[in-house]
Amino acid sequence: MGINLEDPAVAVRESRLGSVTGYCGSARELCRKSRGCTLCDQSRAFTQCISCSANQVMNQLVFIQDAAVVEHGPAGCSGDIPGRNITGRSGRKKRGLPVRNLRYINTNLEERDIIYGGADKLRTAVRAAEQRFRPRAVFVTTTCASAIIGDDVSGICDEMEKEIGIPVVPIFCEGFRSKVWATGFDAAYHGILRKIVKPPKRRQPDMVNVINFQGRDVFSRPFGQLGLWPNYIVPYTTVERLSHISEAAASVQICSTLGTYLAAGLEEYYGVPEVKAPLPFGVAGTDAFLRELGRVTHRESEAEDYIRSEKERIAPELDRLRGRLRGKRAFIGAGAAHAHGMAAVVRELSMELVGNCVWHHDAVFDSGDARSDTLAHDVETYGDFGIDVCNKQSYELVNMLNRARPDIYIARHAGTVWATKLGIPSFLMADEHFGIGYEGLLRMGRLILDTVSHPQFVRNIAAHGRLPYTKWWLEQKPTYFLGGGAE
Ligand code: SF4
């Protein structure tokens, strides 16, 4: 099942990519099963909490500068919005944009609407969004409630588009649609590909789409050396700029978990080549990434010059960091592709990887190209390691951390609080671009060294704190509830 822009709803990752939310074993075996189409999901007999697709849609759409989002659902589904508003305000400030709140409306479905339907509320909300924000496009996102009652969201969007004269884009992302929260990214990109992106009028041979979240600008320098510039999408771009991403020379992504669908869709529908390579983490990954970018944009020699000069530049400090970090034990908890990137970084720093806990696993990415297989890149370049697909289950993570007792826990999204309560030094990779590229490897090395060198603070906290998990649970295998139930 591939990308079908005729269908208003995106195909979910379970069916499209063979994604799973439960696995425990070796990374090599996970790669083998993924490629052989023999990977089966293992369900849990107990689940603590998970993310939902509707949440991940917001991760991209509410940050488009001149768009508005109408979420068709109960007010409770907007629980993530206050936090996103803070992110959006600080993100705008970092980019020199006027600080303001998100342009978001929730239709506030209530009991009465569940019985009689919420179509009128949706129409009213879209009109209000148009009048209040004067956007260039409105995205209408679904939730469990609006999907269950069966409101004709697609039909209402078409009707409202005619009435207000701007794209009104339905995004089908209700939480129960997919077990894999990352399907929400695909849902957002599906709507953008269907209704915002226009066929190219001309090619822009120096523009490279960078599918990303909110990270710092780490691409202008290397891309500049190749005569390219990064077009960061989707947060903080505009509807007009999004309409032209079909004109780019190539698309890259900072995380294949995030960008697989958009990159593949742009290639399939508009001929924009996706850079099919490991993510630019660690020397090996960055080499391969830049070489492939150079190849698809016809800048091979510039890429080689840049690779050579950068490797010479970082060599002395990289040697020093490797000497200081050799044998230190790292545990990583992150989204799948990002965790693979972090795994490359710690092993290039001569550290031992004692745990890699990923939120879900995609058996393949949308391109279907083995060069984009970030996990296989790790296994082939650095050797096998243990991996757990934990679906963001904190109870499993705490159990694993307690057993592994690493020198450092590196987290993306969540978990540093648990490491701290266990007396394990940690940091949160809030800026997902922090470890990218040659300089990112050094940045990571410095931060890891600083963190492992100062463990006393968290040890003090652990000595005076109490875990909410019982002794019984910490003595069980972390996979106790995986595969259908307890023994
Ligand atoms: S869409 Fe469904 S799963 Fe997501 S927040 Fe709303 S009710 Fe919860």
Question: Is 54's C-beta closer than 6 angstroms to any atom of ligand 1?
Answer: yes
The DSSP bridge partners found for residue 320 are none
Question: Is 411's C-beta closer than 6 angstroms to any atom of ligand 1?
Answer: no
pLDDT tens-place string over residues 239-295? 999 999 999 999 999 999 999 999 999 999 999 999 999 999 999 999 999 999 999
Please tell me what DSSP assigns to residue 136: S
From the number of C-beta atoms within 10 Å of its C-beta (0-12, 13-18, 19+), residue 215 rates as buried
Q: Which residues of the chain have pLDDT under 70?
A: 1, 484-487
SS3 of 427, please? strand
SS3 of 154, please? helix
Question: Is 222's C-beta closer than 6 angstroms to any atom of ligand 1?
Answer: no
Please tell me what DSSP assigns to residue 293: H
Which ranges of 357-455 would DSSP assign to H, the alpha helix? 374-382, 394-404, 416-421, 437-452
CA of 357 to the centre of ligand 1 (A): 24
φ, ψ of residue 242 to 5 degrees: the values are -60, -35
CA distance 241 to 171: 20
214 CA to centre of own chain = 11
- For ligand 1, pick from 12, 144, 149, 173 the residue to mutate: most ligand atoms within 8 Å of CB: 144
Q: Which residues contact 186 (CB under 8 A, 6 or more apart)?
A: 10, 13, 16, 260, 261
CA of 24 to the centre of ligand 1 (A): 27
The residue type at 373: D
CA dihedral 425, 429, 434, 439 (to 10 degrees): 30
| Other residues' Cβ atoms within 10 Å of the Cβ of residue 425 | 23
pLDDT value, residue 438: 98
pLDDT value, residue 487: 47
The DSSP bridge partners found for residue 250 are 208
Question: Is 71's C-beta closer than 6 angstroms to any atom of ligand 1?
Answer: no
CA of 85 to the centre of ligand 1 (A): 19
pTM of the model: 0.96
Question: Is 73's C-beta closer than 6 angstroms to any atom of ligand 1?
Answer: yes
pLDDT value, residue 2: 76
CA of 436 to the centre of ligand 1 (A): 33
Q: Are 436 and 289 in contact (CB under 8 A)?
A: no
| Cα separations in angstroms, 379 against 78, 107, 376 | 40, 47, 5
Structure tokens, 305: 């010059």
Per-residue b or e along 352-382, where b marks 16 or more CB atoms closer than 10 Å to that residue's CB:
ebbbbbbbbbbbbbbbeeeebbbbbbbbebb
Tell which residue, 188, 314, 340, has the closest CA to residue 256.
340
CA of 144 to the centre of ligand 1 (A): 5
Beta strand extents in 61-220 (DSSP E only): 67-72, 104-106, 137-142, 168-171, 204-211
Q: Are 140 and 129 in contact (CB under 8 A)?
A: no
pLDDT value, residue 367: 93
Prior bond to 296 cis, omega within 30?
A: no
Question: Is 174's C-beta closer than 6 angstroms to any atom of ligand 1?
Answer: yes
CA dihedral 333, 178, 166, 76 (to 10 degrees): -80
- For ligand 1, pick from 72, 110, 174, 181 the residue to mutate: most ligand atoms within 8 Å of CB: 174
CA distance 318 to 329: 18
- Closest ligand 1 atom, CA of 173? 1
101 CA to centre of own chain = 23
The residue assigned the tokens 């005076």 is: 464
Concatenate the DSSP letters of all residues of 67-94 into one string.
EEEEEES-GGGGGGHHHHHHHHHHHHHH
Q: Which domains does the chain have, with CATH numbers?
A: 52-180 (3.40.50.1980), 204-296 (3.40.50.1980), 317-475 (3.40.50.1980)
Structure tokens, 308: 């050579």
CA distance 136 to 134: 7
CA dihedral 58, 59, 65, 69 (to 10 degrees): 0
Four-residue CA torsion sign, 105, 110, 114, 120 = negative
CA nearest ligand 1 atom 1, residue: 143
